[in-house]
Amino acid sequence: MSVEQEVINLGKNIFFNAHHSPMGCSPVFTLGYPGQSGGFDLELGSPPNQNIYIGLQDDGQERYRAFPFFGEGLDERDRYTTDESDSGSSERHSVQQEESGLIIPYNRDEIVRRFGAAIDEWQAGDLTFRLISPFEGVPDPETATEEQLRFALMPAVLAEITVDNTRGTSTRKAFFGLQNNDPVSAIRRLEDVTGGRICGIGQGRHTAIARAIRDYQRRIFYDGIDSQAKGSGKPPVWPWSGRAVLMDTPAGEKATYRFGLCFYRPVRHNRNRCSYYYSRYFANIEEVAEYALAQFNRKLEVARQADALVNDAKLSEDQKFIVAHAIRSYYGSTELLEHDGKPLWIVNEGEYRMMNTFDLLVDQLFYELKMNPWTVKNELDLYTSRYSYRDTVDFPGDATEYPGGISFTHDMGVANSFSLPGYSSYELHAIDDCFSHMTHEQLVNWVLSATVYVHQTNDREWLEPQPADSGASLDSMVNRDHPDPSQRTGMMGLDSSRTMGGRKSPPIQPGRLVGASAEQHLFAGKSWAAYVAMEKLFRDNGRKSAAALAGRQPELGAGTITSHLLPGGIFQPSFRRTMTPRSSLRSRVLSSRYTPDAKKRWIQTADSVHILRRCPRI
């Protein structure tokens, strides 16, 4: 990718963080917003706020210009002195920084950014920095070769620094480094543990910036970001806070330096004792670094093809930007795990880190079916085997129970910890609104995901034992409409017994849709689509009776929706059934069918939830 190539038109605002992630490994290298806001993110829920130093020496000067991905910070040595460790040390250090002017950020109007789905590039003056995050279909571990999996699951992204010193009159130093923000591990030199094959820096044993020895001209590790960059000739020392690699580019030359930004954390996930699948092929981060550098050219070609996937699409510039961002964040949330010798595909819910959240699984369904359909089947299989359950249903305000059926949990756990079988980390009992059980929606999500998967792959063998094929999903959906077939509307009308006196909630923030209900806004279209998909499935399989029932429901739903159109086709979202007005959770529990002891427990739960609702979601 040449520096002249335009990827996506960013407009005026080019300063935003973006994820740069390998596939199925969970880590992210975040970069793009000025200041101390990016860095190495290994299973975190937010950017690590790490100083990242990428800069170049001015020609003939002892001054450096750098991309503005770092902020002011105290010299770490101040903590170890007796005379200047008081409150005045911060002011002293700031004055020294300002007077010395050793490292000066580029002005924002000097920087050009070229942003794609896989390649992100910054250019200022004679310095270009490029981050490369290749992505392609993740091979199915059940059928792929060992080398195919090693190549695809390599836990590293790549980087290039290009220094154009063709017009220079002196040798110029470029640097690439970071601030140590790990309270447990110091930054170490990679050549000390690789027999000199790799140079670079590692933060503990989990992250590293690596380069091949044959590829570099000079390396310096320096104490703080400015104490040895002037090239005093003194040997490098062990640093307190920051390290970097310095590269010399002679006058009249243009050079490109390649790096692997590597991650390694083999064993993760509580309860199920899973490990990252890539740990089958890499024993430590040094092996990751050597492999990443050896495969640089192949990975770069994959990244170029990935960029073209989005750039050549018939989308607007805004759409391309959104898709590129979504792909980056998606891969930064993915984990391919191994459990009892079998692959387990996990997609975390961004900063919330809930695992395989079902309402997101259905959102990313078409992308996964395009790139790696086996992951959809893998997720659905785990939902069926571990995170499905059966319930009864009731009308709000009425303790009478009716048959319910099969459904699925909101998620499979949170923050690398699987939840108990049949339960999510999100859903709670005996509450209204957020965090209540989302039984109907997850059932609809399962139907949509399963039917689309079968339609796209024609995997009939997988379908046969599934709830969608057996009719269990259809029975469960119509039971949640109305127990009397003559009163069905194609909408959800009953709540799950799992709400235990509470109310079913849609995954929207309270107040976003004033006066809305789950029936009104979220499930009308999705339920209609699920019924249509099941009708086709049953007809294709010769299940005429089930197909007729599935076909009747979307007709009822469409009639319910269109009956609320105003003159001129204006939609009035008020197709809610007539229901008992909401009462307080406390009074509802007291009047419910539960025993006195159970009522007492649920009232205590309600009081606790009332307090929790005032807190942030995470």
For β-strands 127-132 and 570-571, DSSP reports them as unpaired
For β-strands 334-339 and 413-414, DSSP reports them as unpaired
Buried b (16+ CB within 10 A) or exposed e, 410-437: bbbbbebebbeeebbbbbbbbbbbbbbb
CB-neighbour burial class of residue 127 (10 A; exposed 0-12, middle 13-18, buried 19+): buried
Which residue type sits at 504?
K
- pLDDT of 269 strictly over 60: no
Distance between CA atoms of 295 and 279, rounded to whole angstroms? 18
**DSSP 8-state class, residue 443:** H
Which residue type sits at 606?
A
CB-neighbour burial class of residue 178 (10 A; exposed 0-12, middle 13-18, buried 19+): buried
* Residue 47 · residue 30 · CB < 8 Å: yes
CB-neighbour burial class of residue 18 (10 A; exposed 0-12, middle 13-18, buried 19+): buried
Q: pTM, whole model, 2 decimals?
A: 0.82
For residue range 181-228, what is the model confidence (pLDDT) as tens digits? 887 888 888 888 888 888 899 988 999 999 987 544 444 444 344 444
- pLDDT of 25 strictly over 60: yes
pLDDT of residue 468: 66
Distance between CA atoms of 263 and 206, rounded to whole angstroms? 5
- Cα torsion 115, 116, 122, 123 to 10°: value is -90
- pLDDT of 306 strictly over 80: yes
pLDDT of residue 318: 93
For residue range 408-452, what is the model confidence (pLDDT) as tens digits? 999 999 998 999 999 999 887 766 667 778 888 999 999 999 999
For residue range 102-138, what is the model confidence (pLDDT) as tens digits? 889 999 999 999 999 999 999 999 999 999 999 999 9
Select, from the ranges 102-111, 266-275, 558-567, the one with the highest average predicted confidence (pLDDT): 102-111
Mean pLDDT for all residues in the chain = 81
- The β-bridge partners of 274 are 268
For residue range 475-521, what is the model confidence (pLDDT) as tens digits? 999 999 999 999 999 988 888 988 876 665 443 333 333 344 544 55
* Residue 557 · residue 531 · CB < 8 Å: yes
